[in-house]
Amino acid sequence: MFKHLVDGIFWDIALWVFTIGVLWRILSIFLVGNKKDLSVARTTGMTGAIAANISRFFPRSEMQSRTRLHVIAGYMFHLGLFALLFFAAPHILFVESQTGLSWPAMPYWAFIVTAQLAFVGLLLLWIHRVMDPVTRLISSADDHVGSILTFIVMLTGCMALLEGFEGLRVLHRFTVELLMVYFPFSRLMHAFMFIPSRAFTGAWFGRRGVKA
């Protein structure tokens, strides 16, 4: 019974909530009216937008010693999660079953290595959030819930690789559905908004000749 719900109505609800919620959040930001900028443009907004997005992928030299752990862990987690999401064989097979689209999957050994890096990165980021006085102060329950849900989804995903345990696959899919429902209403939306937000800030400063 639970399997049919997870593979059926629960998935449909999660997909609709995720899709509509993400689109609503994105459109609500882009539809906000801005006052006309009367300043004299020093450079084009596009130049500033591109420069800001590129520069933000690297820590400022004067802050490297203080942010090294955070940056390394961040790349381990985010790049690892990206690779697992789009290049893990079970995910590609799922997409193929739903859409007919397919692409080469990473080998099993690469999956294991990538998963370990992603797990370590996520744990380091969460420990840093809890232990560092500044990040602990500015963190909310939303940050912790998002981290915990993501960890559970990754953990159940690895467990689901065990052949012959259909219940583990169902559990993994259920946790994915929970994350999909939670996603649009949380700070996890930065997955879609970090590039546009950087571009907006870079364009705003770039127009004034300020390096963002």
> Which ranges of the chain have pLDDT less than 70?
33-45, 52-53, 55-57, 60-65, 163-164, 203-204, 206-212
96 vs 98: CA distance, rounded Å: 5
54 alpha-carbon distance from chain centroid = 18
CB 184 within 8 A of CB 18: yes
DSSP letter (8 states) at residue 197 = H
17 vs 84: CA distance, rounded Å: 23
119 vs 132: CA distance, rounded Å: 20
pTM: predicted TM-score of the whole model, two decimal places: 0.84
If residue 71 lies in a helix (H) or strand (E), which one and from where to where? helix 64-87
Could you identify the residue written with the tokens 């801005």?
Answer: 34
User: Which pLDDT belongs to residue 135?
Assistant: 87
Summarised one tens digit per residue, pLDDT across range 94-151 is 999 888 899 999 999 999 999 999 999 999 999 999 998 888 899 999 999 999 999 9
CB 17 within 8 A of CB 180: yes
